[in-house]
């Protein structure tokens, strides 16, 4: 089943006003805009499936910039598709961080349709297999866990606790699933299970 990119929740974190956000909303996309990150845990709680981050002008509250926020998101909830959205060129070190931690990078002078292509391309990759593969990078799921996820069912609280004790993303995964906002739970509930 193909997922409609308009059903994905998209977050822009940028200190500037962005006209492209109103254009995306007009096109029917579910878009939110934060001027900075007040709480890193809220950023990773799974309520957004796509996060676009500016590099400069955000993350100062944590003594860094957008790349530090990017690294936090990619290590605390790798199920979130992260995209760097910046107007300025990157140094070699910044480019390496982006390569390692971001799903994509796009310039702010892109057209609306180029940005929509990024969302559509990501939506076309979503499947139960992708979610299972992302979780299994940190924790090996048993056949029953995979069966439940493929059918849109939630893992048991005991199983989530075991995952949280055995993996680096486990605590976040537990919090996300408890809030019923993870891509592994919400997308499966919205679409009644997704097949590749």
Instruction: Quote the CA–CA distance of 167 and 118 in Å, as a whole number.
Output: 30
Q: Judge if 170 and 86 occupy the same domain.
A: no
> Does the residue 196 lie in any domain?
no
45 near 177, Cβ under 8 Å?
no
pLDDT for res 2? 61
Which one of 125, 140, 160 terminates a domain?
125
Contacts for 31 with CB less than 8 Å, ≥ 6 apart? 10, 11, 12, 21, 24, 25
Q: Judge if 168 and 119 occupy the same domain.
A: no
Annotate 49-88 with b (16+ C-beta within 10 A) or e (fewer): bbbbbbbeebbeeeeebbbbbbbbbbebbbbbbbbbbbee
Q: What's 22's domain CATH number?
A: 3.40.50.2300
The residue segments making up the domain with residue 185 are: 128-191
Say if residue 97's pLDDT is above 60.
yes
Q: Which helix (H) or strand (E) holds 23?
A: helix 19-26
Q: What is the mean pLDDT of residues 174-184?
A: 43
> Does the residue 70 lie in any domain?
yes
Instruction: Quote the CA–CA distance of 140 and 188 in Å, as a whole number.
Output: 20
Say if residue 7's pLDDT is above 70.
yes
Q: Judge if 10 and 76 occupy the same domain.
A: yes
pTM: 0.70
Mean pLDDT of the chain: 80
> Does the residue 185 lie in any domain?
yes
Give the strand order in the sheet containing 9-13.
Answer: 30-34, 9-13, 50-53, 81-86, 104-107
CA atoms within 13 A on the CB side of 134: 22
The lowest-confidence range among 57-66, 110-119, 124-133, 153-162 is: 153-162
73 near 82, Cβ under 8 Å?
yes
Which one of 90, 109, 125 terminates a domain?
125
Q: Judge if 119 and 137 occupy the same domain.
A: no
> Does the residue 114 lie in any domain?
yes
Structural domain count, the chain = 2
Instruction: Quote the CA–CA distance of 27 and 21 in Å, as a whole number.
Output: 10
Q: Judge if 96 and 154 occupy the same domain.
A: no
> Does the residue 186 lie in any domain?
yes
pLDDT for res 153? 65
Q: Judge if 53 and 27 occupy the same domain.
A: yes
Q: Judge if 57 and 90 occupy the same domain.
A: yes
Say if residue 191's pLDDT is above 50.
no
Q: Judge if 141 and 159 occupy the same domain.
A: yes
Q: Judge if 143 and 102 occupy the same domain.
A: no
Say if residue 137's pLDDT is above 70.
yes
Q: Judge if 100 and 26 occupy the same domain.
A: yes
Measured in whole angstroms, how far is the alpha carbon of residue 189 from the centre of its chain? 17
Q: Judge if 160 and 97 occupy the same domain.
A: no
> Does the residue 146 lie in any domain?
yes
Which one of 69, 100, 125 terminates a domain?
125
């Amino acid at each position: 089943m193909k997922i409609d990119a308009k059903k994905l929740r998209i977050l822009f974190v940028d200190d500037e006003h962005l006209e492209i956000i109103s254009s995306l909303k007009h096109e029917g996309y579910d878009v939110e805009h934060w001027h900075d990150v007040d709480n890193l845990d809220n950023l990773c709680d799974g309520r957004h499936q796509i996060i676009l981050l500016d590099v400069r002008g955000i993350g100062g509250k944590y003594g860094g910039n957008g790349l530090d926020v990017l690294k936090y998101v990619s290590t605390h909830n790798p199920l979130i598709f992260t995209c760097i959205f910046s107007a300025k060129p990157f140094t070699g070190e910044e480019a390496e961080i982006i390569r390692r931690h971001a799903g994509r990078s796009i310039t702010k002078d892109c057209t609306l349709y180029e940005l929509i292509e990024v969302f559509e391309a990501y939506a076309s990759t979503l499947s139960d297999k992708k979610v299972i593969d992302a979780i299994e990078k940190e924790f090996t799921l048993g056949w029953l866990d995979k069966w439940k996820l493929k059918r849109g069912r939630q893992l048991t609280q005991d199983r989530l606790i075991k995952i949280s004790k055995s993996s680096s993303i486990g605590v976040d995964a537990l919090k996300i699933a408890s809030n019923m906002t993870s891509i592994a739970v919400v997308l499966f509930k919205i679409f009644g299970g997704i097949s590749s």
